[in-house]
Structures are given as structure tokens and as C-alpha cells.
Amino acid sequence: MPALTDTFTLSNGVTIPKIGFGTWQIPHGSETYDSVRTALDAGYRHIDTARAYGNEASVGRAVRDSGISRDEIFITTKCPAEVKDAEGARHAFERSLALLDLGHIDLYLIHAPWPWNAIGSDHRAGNIEVWKVFEEVYEAGSTRAIGVSNFEVADLESLLGSTDVVPHANQIRWFVGNTQPETTAFSKEHDILVEGYSPLATGRLLENADIREIAEKYGKSVAQVSIRYLLQKDILPLPKSTTPERIRENADVDFELSAEDVAALDALDAGE
């Protein structure tokens, strides 16, 4: 399936598969291991995890056991959102390296601009301190690319104004009806790839009658149309499932939405 083999090119020339398999909310152990193995068997070559998910070791074991060359698989993980100092960032990176046990990391992200228990608080100085550690591990080749997650325009501006390496990616919540236009536009303007997590709005889009009407025209599911929409907007989708049939279905998106149908989906965007 070309959607699984096609790539975006980051600003530093590194290629990244256009669809990633998300592992948020999949428990450590057999659930993560089996889901990742199913995804790899289905052709996914981009796996997204995070220290906060608690499943890095299971992801790493699934990749090692897959028999697929490490160079063919793109691994993203994230520094915990509450880490806002250099020492903590170094420790978090080394811990993720050890748990994954896959050699290098392909993309390493600051998970959020603020701790999860203080959403919206100002940690820009801490983010700059953490980012300078990211620049160190990037220059050392321990990660092939570095980026951020959940960063809005002001967070990005702060980082860009005080550091050397522009983030290669910004992973944000992005789906039909919630496309974060300002952050998306700013990211694209600065050649920062936008990755969309929760492309199905954590399942809430699956009952959407407007999307279903469009999906029926193509003989596709609501999920497939929702994921395809991101790709046609040059956003990298990170669908997640633990059901083998849905894991495969979410990657079967080699069709083209018409301009009319993309416009209809655009019209659903009224924020959350």
C-alpha cells in the first residue's frame, strides 16, 4: 500500500513514513507488543510512542522480534512533559534509549510545552533549556531528528528565537473539525512537519453522519476518509488501534478525495 511506503521529507532531509502507528493508551506488555507486531506485519514502518505511555520497552521488543531491519523502521518517542531542565532531559533521553533498545531514536519530541498537571502554564525558559539538550543529542547522532508536541504559535516563537535548530516536527491534535489552523500555518511556514494525533478524535468521528455520507461515495469507512483527509492536507496521521482489522483498515487509504469533498470536510472545522 503506497500510503505506508510514501514519505514526507523533514527539513534536514530525513524521510519519515507518511502514516505512523500510534501507541497512546495501549498498555505495556502483550497489548502493545501484539498491536505493534500487527502493524509492522501490515506494512507500517513508523511507530510512535512516548516515555509517558509506559510502553517503550514493549514497542522495542516488538520491533526487534519483527525481523525487519532497524533501518526500515522509523521510531518516535517523547521526553516527558514535566521535564523542563537539562539534567532531566538528558536522563529522560538515556532512559528511552535503554527501554527501546533499538540503538538510535529517529525522532525525539518535547511531549508538551507545560506539565500535564499545569496545562497552559509558562515554561518557555525550561523548554529552551531542554531543547539545547535535544540539539546536543541530535548533533551527536543519537536521534536523527528533533521536534515538539502540543506546541502552539507562541511556544514555537519562543523556541525559534532562542535556539539554533528549528524543530523538524510538531505533533498536535488534528482531525476533521479541529485542524488548529494558526499553529498549522505557522509550522508549515517554518518547514516544520505537522503530525496529527487522534486523527479520529479518539473515536468520536466514527459516528459522524457528514463524514459517513462522503465515505459511502468511495466505498470506504469513516476512519479511512478521516485519515485520508490529513494526508491530502500534508499532515502526518497517527491512527491507533488494538484491533487487527482496524489497524489494517486505517492504512488502506490509497484513494483520492475530490476537491469538493475536501471542502465539505473543511467546512466542518469549527474548533472543538
Positions marked active-site: 53
CA distance 112 to 176: 22
Compute the Cα dihedral for 217, 218, 219, 221 and give only its sign: negative
Helical H runs in 75-175? 86-100, 124-139, 153-160
Cα–Cα dist 194/84, whole Å: 23
| R_g of the chain computed on alpha carbons | 18
CB atoms within 10 A of CB 254: 13
In this structure, what are the phi and psi dihedrals at residue 251, rounded to the nearest 5 degrees? Answer: -100, -5
Q: Which residues pair with 178 in a beta bridge?
A: 175
β-bridge partners, 108: 77, 146
Q: Is 203 left (phi over 0), alpha (psi -120 to 50) or beta?
A: left
Q: Which among 76, 72, 68, 61 is positioned nearest to 31, based on CA atoms?
A: 61
